[in-house]
Amino acid sequence: MNSGFPPDSVGLVAARTLSFDAPLALDCGRSLDRYDLVIETYGELNAARDNAVLICHALSGDHHAAGYHSAEDRKPGWWDSCIGPGKPIDTRRFFVVSLNNLGGCSGSTGPGSLRPDGSGHWGPDFPILTVRDWVRSQQALMQALEIEQWAAVIGGSLGGMQALQWSIDYPDKLRHCVAIAAAPRLSTQNIAFNEVARQAILSDPEFHGGRYAEQGTVPARGLMLARMLGHITYLSDNAMDDKFGRELISGAPQFTFEPEFQVESYLRYQGTSFIERFDANTYLLMTKALDYFDPAREFDGDLARAFAGTRARFLLIAFTRDWRFSPQRSRELMRALMQAGRPVSYACIDSPLGHDDFLVPVPDYLAVFGQYMQAIAQECGQ
Amino acid sequence: MNPEFAIISEWIEPGSRVLDLGCGDGTLLKYLQEKNQVQGYGLELEVGNVAACLQKGVNAIQTDLNLGLAEFSDQQFDYVLMTQALQVMKRPDLLLAEMLRLGRRSIVTFPNFGHWSIRLQLLLGGRMPRTRNLPAQWYDTKNIHLCTLKDFENLCAERQLRILRRSVTDARHRDSLAARTCPNLSARLGLYMLAKPE
């Protein structure tokens, strides 16, 4: 079963598609009459059906969180560091559900999908989604899988925001909420970065108002720029310095605009490889969902009141060098939960990378996350 | 169970909201959760201890107490505890005041540096005292603000912190006659419950 793959990998995995035909009402006032969600699952659902955990992905993630799609696969799923036998989200104990969010570009219904009325691609007409909309669609997924309650809803970054929204919107449907490198809402600076990323895409001449599919083209430069900008915010100043330094590739200035510093080729590589797997309209949607996320808004900005009705226990993890969603943002969440009298734990992992650390097997991170998950597994007799 | 914890458990009303400063691996909070059904949070610096708390089902918030507790709001807790951590703090006096800002009552325990065996070590041996509880050398100890029961009570008087309860116990945490009559000489440990002036 696991042949050729690392022993702590879930091994070969395959995605499947679930189709939903009950209309999904969206925050923007529109609704989706039918939609598909692509999912992967790892591990086994127990007889009591109480060991299921939901993984929510971040900006550029998808359903492929762990394992390999083929023996030739070079890289495992995006959160393979944390999902697998013996890892924090231990697939010997949990039934792990991971999906591609609505609006995504990895198989779930999104701007790249064909409209049900046969009028071509959704493109820019696809509704702009919110984190709440995603959570609502994930709840439909939960019903389809006949799961009554998640043992935990878990996510990093934008995924953590979905986990938090779950705890507010469906308090009885999850026992634990794990939000890693998340924030109660974006800072103005975060929104500013997103706006520059969007402008990079929107102003690409190949964007064609979002109807590039009809034109048989792709706004590659815009998407590449957006991703390059993103990657600057995923790493700390120090980490960039350590990884790339200021060494000139050819040893001396060449007086050209070709990549001369390593960080330039790194960003270009990240940008160009992103074009192959990601869709510009989806990128726009995802950044918008981030910008809108603000669960305190309905409670006059009082985050403690937003959490007052939650029933889950919370684990928040932040990383010292993360400046995109800094530890202070997780502490805001912690304080609000404490004020609301809700059970919350918080750890700040001393690690060098920055925001990207949530994807990396930092030992202290795995220890904190793993111990918490182990306690959950014990609760459900796993 | 640690007799010190048993005394704290006796002092605490069931169902209270408790904050434990320097909660370590969460043993005390776990005990109080089971025994007194408290709703508790621990503040702890070491990430390994935070992990140990989580494993026990104890809420732990990774925090450096020396950076202050200004981010936490007033009177959120019934009790704010600190067991044998006062002496490692940079400013124990400020922390004692903060504890009563966050909670209605505070409970503090610390090793009594006025114990006769410690006095004798300095008097007869002429060297900095070391005990089973305080085994570190003078140059590498974390215990930078050791005090005697008398010192502590003086500070409380000076800062107008009311001592509601005191338990002074000998080496076996028994409430011996000696501990009651000459506490500052015979008590290994001081346990105090404090409140703000009425």
Q: What is the pLDDT along chain A (382 residues), one digit of tens a residue?
A: 456 899 999 999 999 999 999 999 999 999 999 999 999 999 999 999 999 999 999 999 999 999 999 999 999 999 999 999 999 999 999 999 999 999 999 999 999 999 988 889 999 999 999 999 999 999 999 999 999 999 999 999 999 999 999 999 999 999 999 999 999 999 999 999 999 999 999 999 999 999 999 999 999 999 999 999 999 999 999 999 999 999 998 999 999 999 999 999 999 999 999 999 999 999 999 999 999 999 999 999 999 999 999 999 999 999 999 999 999 999 999 999 999 999 999 999 999 999 999 999 999 999 999 999 999 999 998 8
Question: Which residues from chain B sit within 8 angstroms of residue A331, using beta carbons?
Answer: 71
| Confidence at B123, pLDDT banded by 50, 70, 90 | very high
- Confidence class of residue B174 from pLDDT cuts 50, 70 and 90? low
d(CA A289, CA A102): 11
Q: List the 68-97 stretch of B: residues with Cβ below 8 A of A.
A: 71-73, 76
Q: Residue A217: how many CB atoms within 10 A of its CB?
A: 14
DSSP-derived secondary structure for A109-170: SSTTSBPTTSSSB-GGGSPPP-HHHHHHHHHHHHHHTT-S-BSEEEEETHHHHHHHHHHHH-
Q: Is the pLDDT score of B130 beyond 70?
A: yes
Yes or no, beta carbons of A341 and B39 under 8 Å apart: yes
From the CA of A215, how many Å to the nearest CA of chain B? 53
- In 3D, which of A161, A166, A205 has the Cα closest to residue A179? A161
Phi/psi of residue A126, nearest 5 degrees: -65, 135
Contact A196, A229 (CB under 8 A): yes
Contacting residues for A287 by C-beta, under 8 A, at least 6 apart: A59, A194, A197, A198
A320 close to B (CB below 8 A): no
What sign does the dihedral A377-A378-B2-B6 (CA atoms) show? positive
Residue B190 clears pLDDT 80, i.e. is over it: yes
What DSSP state is assigned to residue A172? G
φ, ψ at B110 (rounded to 5°) = -155, 155
Average pLDDT along chain B: 93
Q: How confident is the model at residue B173 (pLDDT cuts 50, 70, 90)?
A: low
In whole angstroms, what is the distance from residue A267 CA to residue B93 CA? 51
pLDDT at B179 over 80: no
Considering only residues B180 and B174, tell me which one the structure prediction assigns the higher pLDDT. Answer: B180
The ipTM (two decimal places) reads: 0.93
Which of A338, A371, A375 faces B41 most closely, judged by CB atoms? A338
Beta-carbon separation of B60 and A341 below 8 A: no
| Residue A27 pLDDT | 98
CB A85 within 8 A of CB A8: yes
CA separation for the pair B17, B35 (Å, rounded) = 14
Report the pLDDT value the prediction gives residue B172, as an integer from 0 to 100: 62
* Residue pair A129/A289 in contact by the 8 Å Cβ criterion: yes
Give tens-digit pLDDT for B16-47: 999 999 999 999 999 999 999 999 999 999 99
DSSP A9-50: S--B---EEEEE-S-EE-TTS-EESSEEEEEEEES---TTS-
Three-state secondary structure string covering chain B? CCHHHHHHHHHCCCCCEEEEECCCCCHHHHHHHHHHCCEEEEEECCHHHHHHHHHHCCEEEECCHHHCCCCCCCCCEEEEEEECCHHHCCCHHHHHHHHHHHEEEEEEEEEECCCHHHHHHHHHHCCCCCCCCCCCCCCCCCCCCCECHHHHHHHHHHCCCEEEEEEEECCCCCCCHHHHHCHHHHCCEEEEEEECCC
